[in-house]
Amino acid sequence: MSIIAESVRLTGPTLRALILERLGQIKCGRYAVISIPGLWLAVFFFIPFLVVFKISLAETAIAIPPYTSLFEFDLEEALLEISINLGNYRYLFEDDFYLAAYLNSAKIAAISTFFTLLIGFPMAYLIARSHGTTRTLLLSLVILPFWTSFLLRVYAWMGILQKNGIVNDFLMSIGLIDTPLTILQTDIAVYIGIVYTYLPFMVLPLYTALEKLDGALLEAAQDLGCKPAQTFFLITLPLSLPGVVAGCLLVFIPAVGEFVIPALLGGSDTLMIGRVLWDEFFLSRDWPMASAVATVMLIVLVLPIMLIRNNAEKQGEAA
Amino acid sequence: MPITKNRLGAALALSVSVTSGAALADESKVLNIYNWSDYIAPEAIEAFSEKTGIEVNYDVYDSNEVLEAKLMSGGTGYDLVVPAGAFLERHVQADIYLEVDQSRLSNYDNLDQVMLEKVARYDAGNEHSVPYAWGTIGLGYNVDQVRERLGDTPVDSLDLVFNPDVAAKLADCGIAMLDSPAEVVSMALNYLGLDPNSEKKGDLKKAEAMLQSVRPHIKYFSSSKYISDLANGEICLAVGYNGDVLQAQGRAEEAGQGVNVGYSIPSEGTLVWFDVMAIPADAPHPDAAHKFIDFVLQGDTAAGISNYVYYAVPNVAAMPLLDEEVSSNPGIYPSEDVKAKLFTQNAHTPKFDRILNRSWSNTKTGR
């Protein structure tokens, strides 16, 4: 009764003012909520990136730190000198070595992502279709490898793939091959390493997408005469597409910059941008050049991916 | 993981030294050492702590590059580090070390004068460094596999890796090469009869062409993997550090799988390297560092280290105390004739370093 009375009294301009005030509060609250992850991104992503970008505009120097500073301020003459060196970027485009490294990294990451998807999809499908304790068990099996150090797991692969390792021993004992295969220190070993390491990052988003899939849709498709393969391509795959995109990005992006796996499993001729970065930083002691390589990697590889994703999200909303 | 533990130890020790502050400044009880892995006799550290009451936090690295990247970032908290000569040269230029006060080193006279002079090429007047150990880069080989393929061809020649006809015969059993552009290119230049420290583009081109010609026969480039691979017969030839090859020899003997590892210093002459002790400019305990250096210079300590790590120490007083198998091993303490042919590798200008590393990357990837 009193509420109605109140609402009756609150008419005209008073009510509008109150609503606007409320909306303002909601907005403030929303900003407060967004600002925390925003701040986190700024502190741990944007500022470090600016630092890297700043170093990429400097020149190497024999000093601590081993590069020149961009700003020289002369207090007496109140003179601020800014020296920006774009030479690193020019060199980056002049020497086709870097282009080859970027392209090869992208190629290795793309092939690995494809195989991760190929293996990860049935796994995620199985988990999403199972129930109760089986599902919990399968999910924990996917996460279980994280309990061991990533480095140790890659080292274990060295033992498995080497000349007198488990794979070769097994293939020779069943008489499939006579001489041991050279797998370690080839690109194939790098693919195996990346697919193995990043598989959980593919399975989990796929599982989330497939779990939401309405079983009734599949039944309906069958009732209407769809063959299983048709059902898969017409219903399951399109509906799990967000999971596929998320999984592929989670695998592709870190795989491009991967350093440990190609360093341990790859051969000396496996050219990847992560190793180029290491060489620039540690062997050439050229921090500015290394920073330029990192900056360009971010812009060339990550920006288009973010745009694609944005686009996909917008399309998703429109649909 | 011992490294993590040690780091934590170093960090804790640091915070302690900060809080206890100036009162303990001249009598520090902590020492943070950053040295190569497997590069000291463990007893030496214990004996030092016992003698001086100084607690040692011992942390290790496995490449000069990693050490340098840390030092160049500053604020490492280490009191004593052990860089190699060419790196020392650059570090001294960057002014990142304290001067060593030789008057506080009672055992300084134990040092081999010839070695001191050689190290002075990197550090004028030996002002910032004290030599720790030295060694050569040479050929580690699987005695039986190489003889099987090459017959009686002498194994003390760089032809084994740098002559494509010879290297081709060994390709099937595996050749490994140090992943160290400055050192390998320096040896390649010397092999071609050029100045090993040349910074001429034309000379580098010749060295690269030669390395590219043998590249198809090289299995991999690594500065540490060859130790275990030589020992278990995965490779039959490695261009590597003498102490590492001798370690492989020891491991092969222990394993008893019939793998015989030999080490030879190339007759063409090879690279000699020195590792030195130096005190970072921002070291929290420079006094303790001086005490430790003096302790290492004692004849018995130095001999203990040499006996343990199979590297030579530049210490005259240590010579009579060495184990027979160490002092008589020409791979560790070479004869005077061999010594005369050894050359050093100097630091390069940043500009040359860049084209050198590019050339090296091209060689490695076979581009």
The 10s digit of each residue's pLDDT in A173-228 is 998 888 888 888 889 999 999 999 999 999 999 999 999 988 888 889 889 988 88
A142 and A259 both lie in a single domain? yes
Tokens standing for B25? Answer: 């400044």
**Contact (CB<8Å) B365/A65:** no
Is A312 a domain residue? no
Tokens standing for B287? Answer: 């006094």
Share of residues in chain A with pLDDT > 90 (%):
43
User: How many residue pairs from chains A and B have C-beta atoms closer than 8 A?
Assistant: 72
Is A134 a domain residue? yes
Which CA distances in Å does A83 have to A288, B231, B364? 13, 53, 35
* pLDDT at residue A198 in the model: 96
Q: Could you tell me if B312 and B306 are in contact, meaning their C-beta atoms sit under 8 angstroms apart?
A: yes
A71 — phi, psi (to 5°)?
Answer: -115, 130
Residues of A with CB under 8 A from a CB of B: 60, 62-66, 95, 97, 100, 162-163, 185, 267-271, 276, 279-286, 289
The DSSP element (H or E) to which A280 belongs, if any, is none
Nearest to B357 among A66, A267, A284 (CB): A284
* pLDDT over 50 (residue A129): yes
**DSSP-derived 3-state class of residue A71:** strand
**Contact (CB<8Å) B360/A283:** yes
Q: Could you tell me if A303 and A195 are in contact, meaning their C-beta atoms sit under 8 angstroms apart?
A: no
> Please, what is the average pLDDT of chain A?
86
**Contact (CB<8Å) B94/A185:** no
CB environment B64-74: b (16+ within 10 A), e (fewer): bbebbbbbbee
Is B194 a domain residue? yes
Nearest to A284 among B96, B234, B354 (CB): B354
Q: Between these two residues, A165 and B162, which has the higher pLDDT value?
A: B162
**Chain A residues closer than 8 Å to B90 by CB:** 62
User: How far apart are alpha carbons A198 and A247 in whole angstroms?
Assistant: 9
Tokens standing for B54? Answer: 């100084």
* pLDDT at residue B18 in the model: 39
Residue numbers of B between 82 and 121 with CB closer than 8 Å to A: 90, 93-96
B148 and B256 both lie in a single domain? yes
Could you tell me which residues come within 8 angstroms of residue B26 by beta carbon, excluding any fewer than 6 positions away? Answer: B287
Give the closest-approach CA distance of A284 to chain B in angstroms: 6
* Residue-range definition of the domain harbouring residue B91: 2-128+273-333
B353 and B228 both lie in a single domain? yes
Give the closest-approach CA distance of A62 to chain B in angstroms: 5
B178 and B326 both lie in a single domain? no
Is B249 a domain residue? yes
Tokens standing for B89? Answer: 């040269």
A27 and A69 both lie in a single domain? yes
B259 and B145 both lie in a single domain? yes
Please give the residue of chain A at the shortest CA–CA distance from B234: A163
Is B338 a domain residue? no
B58 pairs with which residues across the strands? B33
Is A208 a domain residue? yes
A158 and A55 both lie in a single domain? no
**In terms of Cα–Cα distance, which of B179, B135, B133, B147 is closest to B262?**
B147
**Contact (CB<8Å) B179/A268:** yes
The owner of tokens 């000291």 is B40
User: How far apart are alpha carbons B102 and B279 in whole angstroms?
Assistant: 13
User: How far apart are alpha carbons B363 and B218 in whole angstroms?
Assistant: 11
Is A55 a domain residue? yes
Q: Give the residue from A64, A162, A187 with the most B CB atoms within 10 Å of its CB, the best one to mutate.
A: A64
A186 and A227 both lie in a single domain? yes
Please give the residue of chain A at the shortest CA–CA distance from B353: A284
* pLDDT at residue A214 in the model: 85
Angle at CA A23, nearest 5°, toward A21 and A24? Answer: 60
**Contact (CB<8Å) B72/A65:** yes
* pLDDT at residue B64 in the model: 87
Is A261 a domain residue? yes
B295 and B248 both lie in a single domain? no
Q: What is the DSSP string of A237-264?
A: HHHTHHHHHHHHHHHHHHHHT--HHHHH
A171 and A211 both lie in a single domain? yes
User: How far apart are alpha carbons A285 and A43 in whole angstroms?
Assistant: 27
Which CA distances in Å does A205 have to A126, A138, A236, A239, B68? 14, 15, 15, 13, 41
B140 and B262 both lie in a single domain? yes
- Examine the fold and report which residue of A20, A43, A74 is the final residue of a domain before the chain moves on: A74
User: How far apart are alpha carbons A200 and A207 in whole angstroms?
Assistant: 10
Nearest to A62 among B94, B218, B360 (CB): B94
User: How far apart are alpha carbons A269 and B360 in whole angstroms?
Assistant: 11
In this prediction, residues A154-173 reach a mean pLDDT of: 89
Q: What is the 3-state secondary structure (H, E, C) of chain B?
A: CHHHHHHHHHHHHHHHHHHHHHHHCCCCCEEEEEEECCCCCHHHHHHHHHHHCCEEEEEEECCHHHHHHHHHHCCCCCCEECCEHHHHHHHHHCCCECCCCHHHCCCHHHECHHHHHHHCCCCHHHCCCEEEEEEEEEEEEEHHHHHHHHCCCCCCCCHHHHCHHHHHHHHHHCEEECCCHHHHHHHHHHHCCCCCCCCCHHHHHHHHHHHHHHHHHCCEECCCCHHHHHHCCCCCEEEEEHHHHHHHHHHHHHHCCCCCEEEECCCCCCEEEEEEEECECCCCCHHHHHHHHHHHHCHHHHHHHHHHHCCECCEHHHHHHCCHHHHCCCCCCCCHHHHHCCECCCCCCHHHHHHHHHHHHHHHHCC
Q: B71 at the A interface (CB within 8 A)?
A: yes
**Contact (CB<8Å) B367/A162:** no
Give the domain CATH number at A281. Answer: 1.10.3720.10
Give the closest-approach CA distance of A162 to chain B in angstroms: 9
User: How far apart are alpha carbons A113 and A53 in whole angstroms?
Assistant: 29
B145 and B172 both lie in a single domain? yes
Q: Could you tell me the pTM of the whole model? A: 0.79
Q: Could you tell me if A143 and A247 are in contact, meaning their C-beta atoms sit under 8 angstroms apart?
A: no
Give the closest-approach CA distance of B325 to chain A in angstroms: 33
* Residue-range definition of the domain harbouring residue A150: 95-285
Angle at CA B329, nearest 5°, toward B323 and B330? Answer: 145
B136 — phi, psi (to 5°)?
Answer: -125, 165
**Contact (CB<8Å) B181/A286:** no
B236 and B158 both lie in a single domain? yes
**Contact (CB<8Å) A286/B362:** no
> Cα B20 to the chain's mean position, in Å?
36
Give the closest-approach CA distance of A71 to chain B in angstroms: 19
Please give the residue of chain B at the shortest CA–CA distance from A60: B350
* pLDDT at residue A27 in the model: 73
**Contact (CB<8Å) A282/B71:** no
**Chain B residues closer than 8 Å to A95 by CB:** 358
User: How far apart are alpha carbons B235 and B355 in whole angstroms?
Assistant: 30
Residues in chain B where the model's pLDDT stays below 50: 1-26
A44 and A112 both lie in a single domain? no
Nearest to B361 among A267, A279, A282 (CB): A279
**Contact (CB<8Å) B74/A267:** no
**Chain B residues closer than 8 Å to A281 by CB:** 69
**In terms of Cα–Cα distance, which of B329, B326, B273 is closest to B303?**
B326
Nearest to B69 among A60, A185, A282 (CB): A282
**Contact (CB<8Å) A185/B219:** yes
B201 and B280 both lie in a single domain? no
* pLDDT at residue B17 in the model: 38
A64 and A134 both lie in a single domain? no
A123 and A173 both lie in a single domain? yes
B82 and B199 both lie in a single domain? no
**Contact (CB<8Å) A282/B66:** yes
User: How far apart are alpha carbons B331 and B242 in whole angstroms?
Assistant: 6
Give the closest-approach CA distance of A67 to chain B in angstroms: 10
Which CA distances in Å does B135 have to A99, A296, B90, B247, B332? 39, 41, 20, 13, 7
Residue numbers of B between 239 and 298 with CB closer than 8 Å to A: none
Domain count for chain B, please give it: 2
Q: Could you tell me if B275 and B83 are in contact, meaning their C-beta atoms sit under 8 angstroms apart?
A: yes
A116 and A56 both lie in a single domain? no
* pLDDT at residue B183 in the model: 93
**Contact (CB<8Å) B95/A163:** no
Give the closest-approach CA distance of A263 to chain B in angstroms: 10
Residue B304 identity (one-letter amino acid): G
Is B244 a domain residue? yes
* pLDDT at residue B11 in the model: 39
Span A26-65, pLDDT tens digits: 777 777 778 888 899 889 988 999 999 999 999 888 888 8
Nearest to A64 among B72, B353, B366 (CB): B72
**Chain A residues closer than 8 Å to B211 by CB:** none
- How, if at all, do strands B220-221 and B237-241 pair? unpaired
Residue A259 C-beta-side C-alpha neighbours within 13 Å: 7
Is B357 a domain residue? yes
B206 and B351 both lie in a single domain? yes
User: How far apart are alpha carbons A215 and A259 in whole angstroms?
Assistant: 42
* pLDDT at residue B133 in the model: 96
Give the closest-approach CA distance of B49 to chain A in angstroms: 32
**Contact (CB<8Å) B350/A286:** yes
